Structure 1
């Protein structure tokens, strides 16, 4: 038998108390009736045997009670073999998530993360299965379970650590939620498709900065039996200030020389608050990463835990301005933003008709005033008489060609060839005399046109809002065209034109707008004009949006953004003809002829579309959330339902105390002290009964003596 607190055994020395108590002779309590003692000399009684013990059974009971009480407080237990956790014998399945986002570029963070991953791999048992998933915006398998199982047991750790050593932080943002969901799904099934037995664990190695995205965990239901072990890593310095570009709205009209808005955020635990901001240019020679101020920088004061917006003026007479830098910060991974102002897009419209530009009764007057020049778009309208020869340069430069009057057969044939090549033609039928021109544009005989004059007016009754021209009006708030009245229109049989699609009809059932594909291009036929003589279309609120839809549909105005974030897919502008992209690192990436977007924005910098009609540049910057480097607490993960494992006591207890811990476990399980306390109570009850009987026995004997 062993004792958890053996010092309480010293309490057994109290057994000497009852023994001494029994050795002390007390004056007898027995009384004997006798006659008068007045004539006798008083003398004390003589004791012949002073050390003779009396009432041995009572003495033994009292000693036993004290001994049992001392044994109970000493917490005895019997040695047993330690209980083995049934799950400990089963092999574990472990997914190691290692953060490779941009915030891991801070001083000392990546080295600590790599050491932590190596430590986790070395702790794995010979029967465990381990997979390594680096993650930023998404998690991908660097070492899968299949790779681990195919490798010899003695070479697995070296194989995995070798691949981890080749990793490096990227410039992408941190999506911890996506990574945890990917890891949970990887742990869900074995290679045979069945549920994986035994313990399943996800080890998250990350700086876990506050800018981490957790939205994927909002509605995710975690599988049972999976625990998350967070292994946080920290930077050597707590100072970090980030620089971000304040995004402008898509409809903003920023001037070319307007100041650029930037935001500076300073970490809450930072010790610095004085910085400098300004335009910089990468040094052409010298130390890589060094920059030179293009103009005198601005002084920026940002207290810790705050963010402030600054206006950086554009210096005049300086070309090639592409980046704004922040100085005075220790971690410079987020201290540069790249800026490419949106270039003004230019489109050309060619008008073939006899209209006078300043005549308010002619459609050309309203067409010129529908397109107002803005810093983003400038539309030029070129008017040419139908009888004059059309210049090939004008036709080539035109995005949309309007045919308002009859033209010669040669001009009509030339226009049809441009439509076959991809141009957009719009035939606005002002009179029935345009039937021959319309037939030539369609590549057939003259089209029979008749003048239609409704008794009151006609309205647009059937409109295909799925068509790109009317897609902007699909919302019920803007789809009402009944207030636009048409006084007259030209009527023709659209069913006789192969491939014709009626986009809009009058309430009389006659077509109002017809689309006919011609090769790579198309021909739109308007049976009524927008001038006041034909309709109220030009003075309605639908006229300008409809013309802009026509211009965008023809590719004349393509909304191409110039500011992106690392990892964004860049939608290529229609009709740009770009064949390659020059990346920020200077490499050229070829584009597929059918590619609609470019997804290779892997690092900040300025990119350029090359090989097209004209080069187009765009800037890629770091995600602003990467500058929020304050550590995220585990409580925020637990609030989203993530089963974060708490640190166990056994993990920090020294090896010398294992015997003590086993003893505590055995004593808590056996609880022998309860039996000793119960035995003590039983002995005390017996002792009390025996002591009472012993005290009453002399009195009974005295009563039995006759008087």
Structure 2
């Protein structure tokens, strides 16, 4: 904001220096004109008196200087503590909060909002300093309050619309604190936003701004925008071998009240592999699946984009990646029938590219080994108490057990330990699936392929299962009982399939959806940390340590690190070379910003501002002075007393 200016009020403390005129005036009055002595008899006496008079004159001058120095330093000593403590208050302090989300780049109002921001910062002056804050999940400041309007205008030009999301609650509190940390007669926060609902959702009305702070919200005259967005691009499947075929699941949503048409283009490993027409009805959404061939066991990246006309093109593309993984280890219990083992066949249809490494689930496997592998498939209830305890302990440590029903007393007893009961239906019959939870990660892919014939599968005499209230029912039979349920157990979970996987209990093993379902169950059970493989644009570094280099997979350029951490500020696909190996991640814009839903026109902005009157609004405000500055006061006062002592010695305590 600039340095503090000493006001006339602080200068009045120096009026004590005028007391210097008193010894000077007295010194001048004491001066007498020289007289010539006419008698020659006084010749030798004259020489002696001249020498004495010269000594007295020098002493009087020194005494005069000591008195003047004492009075000047005394005045300065009593003025010193106050000189740096009074600064003139500016007439108005302004903090401009610019909504730095990517929705601010919508074409209908992008230029208008930028011009409005320029008009807010250009008039900055000494009397009206301004600071700019770019509001994302945090706030990036232009610096302290300043009078340099052109510099603030350049700062806004350089940043413009962001590529992430924004939250205003914390930004308002930080701006309020910034204003009250500086002296000013009036304090004002100006928010420039597109009136989208997203940044206002976390506002806490009960936490008011400090008294004396004014709030002004500037929005477009005609808010809102036409938008179609890719809200998800995810690779389905685990890359475990070269030549394996993965699948892209792309979810698209139309936020407009009219039908739109366009083209969906998919690029994979740097080349276009699919192009298809897209038509979405008003406020509709759709899921598309694209096959992704692989020829190398290494990190892959891709991009899916929409070619159509809307106001916000930044969310018309999405990036995705696939990282190679070793096949997970699955402990599989013994198949006790003479029929085909469909589960084992589905897990390893091709011995060269198995979906999992199968290990037998024996009685001597420890709970630590089971929890480390992460997943077990149990096809009958354990009978030995030690094995029962081992299975339960492995789930408490984080493992997942996929239990396939078998009508035995051991299975009923084991399930009852987790508040699950099962009984034979009183009326035998053939059942079908009646309800599917497509929000569950296992079943979500089936919605995009028109359920893959799930509702045509037949189940012969399935049991009537009852699960505890905290369980999640994924599939339900037409008699109302669960066909698949997930029950949390400690850090792990128990997933129950209420049917045996044999030809005499269901025709599911020969249905097209059986293999995908088992693969999705396996991927869900052994899912790795995908949160850091697919991230959104942010100003915060990723929780990945030991990074040696980050490369843009599209351009091949090296990305600069910040303190050896990667900050995902731009959408794209990035290859991270870290101590634990190569890893590809995709960075996309946050999907919540794609929704043009607006804040209500009558939103009570005034409820954020305190109605209390600012209790202290003086013309001048006392500022804190560091202790090292205050120590000079004692030095000046000591020097003044030193000059006083020397004056007393030289004057020999004579009167003025």
Instruction: Work out which of the two has the higher radius of gyration on C-alpha atoms and give 1 or 2.
Output: 1
TM-score w.r.t. length of structure 1: 0.43
Comparing both structures, which one devotes a greater share of its residues to strand?
Answer: 2
TM-score, normalised with respect to structure 2: 0.46
